[in-house]
């Protein structure tokens, strides 16, 4: 197994401590710790893709598991946010629906020998999601320290709106570009 694939697996493994930090009230500075784990996992996403392209280490495993690892990390965060009352359920439903849609299209494409890589809209959506999630974690940490402002909340809402919009656009784009897979 090459290094980019190991980094992808590490991202999946990091989900467990991330969720533990998110949900266990007894852990001091849990949101800061969750942010650090999330930031580290997000960094592995950029690094594994860079290394795979630079050293020509792109594999079928990586093509399949890299976006899956991203989806697992992001959906874990969003589900935790909903359970903590930090994100409306409708936002989670939109994001999860898009992820299931894209994964389903890829599953239909695979037996036909067609690989559907992430496009610019999907990459923009992923970056926006990761920035938004990281920001929410830092806001929650600030709130536990007694720091909060309406500007912080507004920025969080703007990032959530941008993420949701990019999610809808990128999902629609995948559906339109691959509609031929769903015919017949």
Question: Tens digits of per-residue pLDDT, 103-139?
Answer: 888 888 888 888 787 789 988 998 999 999 999 999 9
Structure-token match 């650090």, residue found: 36
Number of H helices, E strands in the chain: 7, 0
Beta strands in 124-181 (DSSP E): none
**pLDDT in the model for residue 184:** 64
Domains and CATH numbers, the chain: 3-182 (1.20.120.1760)
Q: How far is CA 153 from CA 80, 82, 148, in A?
A: 18, 16, 8
Helix (H, G, I), strand (E, B) or coil at 138: helix
Res 148: pLDDT: 87
Q: What pLDDT sits at residue 119?
A: 87
The predicted structure's pLDDT at residue 107: 84
Lookup result for tokens 């990390």? 73
| pTM exceeds 0.85 | yes
| Low-confidence residues in the chain, pLDDT < 50 | none
pLDDT of residue 160: 97
**pLDDT value of position 118:** 78
Residue 78, Cβ density class (10 Å: 0-12 exposed, 13-18 middle, ≥19 buried): buried
């Amino acid at each position: 197994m090459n290094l980019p694939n190991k980094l992808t697996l590490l991202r999946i493994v990091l989900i467990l401590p991330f969720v533990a930090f998110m949900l266990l009230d007894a852990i001091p500075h849990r949101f800061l710790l969750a942010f650090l784990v999330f930031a580290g996992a997000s960094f592995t996403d950029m690094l594994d893709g860079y290394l795979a392209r630079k050293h020509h280490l792109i594999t079928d495993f990586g093509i399949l598991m890299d976006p899956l690892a991203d989806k697992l990390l992001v959906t874990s965060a969003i589900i935790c946010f909903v359970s903590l009352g930090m994100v409306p359920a409708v936002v989670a439903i939109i994001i999860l629906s898009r992820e299931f849609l894209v994964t389903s299209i890829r599953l239909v494409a695979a037996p036909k020998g067609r690989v559907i890589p992430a496009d610019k809209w999907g990459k923009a959506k992923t970056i926006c999601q990761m920035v938004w999630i990281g920001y929410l974690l830092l806001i929650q940490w600030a709130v536990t320290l007694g720091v909060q402002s309406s500007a912080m909340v507004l920025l969080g809402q703007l990032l959530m709106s941008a993420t949701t919009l990019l999610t809808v656009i990128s999902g629609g784009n995948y559906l339109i570009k691959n509609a031929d897979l769903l015919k017949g």
